[in-house]
């Protein structure tokens, strides 16, 4: 769905009006999501785009398809940011800064977090994409910090990623500042060792596993 290019077989390309509508819908959806959250009625988006609901459903059969299309760019940008941090900072600092960048991503894109953790089967593809894109990035940052001896070696990247994205998900309550503090707290947890020596085991409250 939403193929902008024809396959190299003899299939027709996407019609111009369709391509135009897809763009319009995406723009409208981004606006509506920002204003009313991801749970906003589909009709609202269709109306704002000046399009029938049928047209919207043709291009985005499931709501997550729409969200994913909007989020994709942001997620990619966040992934890229890791390279910059890694190049210009000490490993732990790069890690800490990227985690905050992650908070920005989740907190800014209203509903990304909610959609991500909804557990709804229809929303499968969204977490799949986000996690597959970001987990390796975090893994690399962790590896570097571990190699530098700055953090412990027993953390599962995806697990940490999920936890941080949850903490960062905005609610009626806490603003982004709270999310920042709590994510920073987790990074500090990575740096904590009983006697400030890494690689000791027998830790009272942890039993983490890598990968």
Q: How far is the CB of 167 from DNA (least distance, A)?
A: 28
Give the DSSP per-residue string, 58-114: HH-SSHHHHHHHHHHHHHHHHHHHHHHHHHHS-HHHHHHHHHHHHHHHHHHSTTHHH
**Which of 23, 35, 53, 181 is close enough to bind DNA by CB under 7 A?**
53
Buried residues in 11-31 as b, exposed as e (16+ CB within 10 A): eeeeeeeeeebbeebbebbbe
Q: How far is the CB of 8 from a second copy (least distance, A)?
A: 36
Interaction partner, residue 83 (DNA, a second copy, none; CB < 5-8 Å by kind) = none
Note whether 191 binds a second copy by CB under 8 A.
Answer: yes
Interaction partner, residue 135 (a second copy, DNA, none; CB < 5-8 Å by kind) = none
Counting residues that bind a second copy (by CB under 8 A) gives 43
With beta carbons less than 8 A apart as the criterion, state whether 151 and 90 touch: no
CA-nearest of 101, 92, 192, 88 to 147 is 92
Nearest residue (CB) to a second copy, 25 versus 155: 155
How many residues are given for the chain? 211
Nearest residue (CB) to DNA, 58 versus 110: 58
> Which part of the chain contacts DNA (CB under 7 A), choosing from 49-57, 102-110, 154-162, 177-185?
49-57
> Which part of the chain contacts a second copy (CB under 8 A), choosing from 22-30, 45-53, 57-65, 170-178?
170-178
Note whether 159 binds a second copy by CB under 8 A.
Answer: yes
Interaction partner, residue 55 (DNA, a second copy, none; CB < 5-8 Å by kind) = DNA
CA-nearest of 146, 152, 154 to 192 is 152
Note whether 57 binds DNA by CB under 7 A.
Answer: yes
What are 177-183's contacts with CB under 8 Å, separation 24+?
A: 179/103, 179/106, 179/107, 180/100, 180/103, 183/99, 183/100, 183/102, 183/103
Residues 58-87 that bind DNA (CB under 7 A): 58-59, 61-63
List of residues contacting DNA (CB under 7 A): 11-18, 21, 39-43, 50-55, 57-59, 61-63, 122
């Amino acid at each position: 769905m939403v193929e902008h290019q024809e396959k190299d077989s003899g299939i027709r390309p996407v019609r111009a009006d369709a391509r135009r509508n897809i763009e319009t819908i995406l723009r409208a959806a981004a606006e509506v999501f920002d204003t009313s959250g991801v749970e906003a009625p589909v009709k609202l988006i269709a109306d704002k785009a000046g399009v029938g609901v049928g047209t919207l459903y043709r291009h985005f059969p499931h709501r997550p398809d729409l969200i994913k299309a909007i989020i994709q760019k942001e997620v990619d940008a966040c992934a890229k940011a890791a390279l910059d941090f890694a190049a210009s900072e000490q490993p732990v600092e790069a890690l800490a800064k990227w985690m905050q960048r992650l908070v920005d991503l989740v907190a800014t894109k209203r509903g990304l977090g909610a959609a991500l953790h909804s557990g709804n089967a229809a929303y499968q593809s969204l977490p799949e994409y986000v996690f597959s894109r970001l987990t390796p990035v975090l893994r690399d940052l962790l590896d570097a910090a571990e190699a530098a001896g700055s953090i412990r070696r027993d953390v599962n990247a995806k697990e940490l990623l999920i936890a941080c994205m949850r903490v960062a998900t905005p609610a009626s309550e806490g603003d982004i500042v709270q999310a920042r503090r709590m994510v920073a707290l987790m990074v500090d947890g990575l740096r904590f060792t009983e006697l400030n020596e890494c690689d000791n085991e027998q830790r009272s409250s942890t039993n983490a596993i890598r990968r």
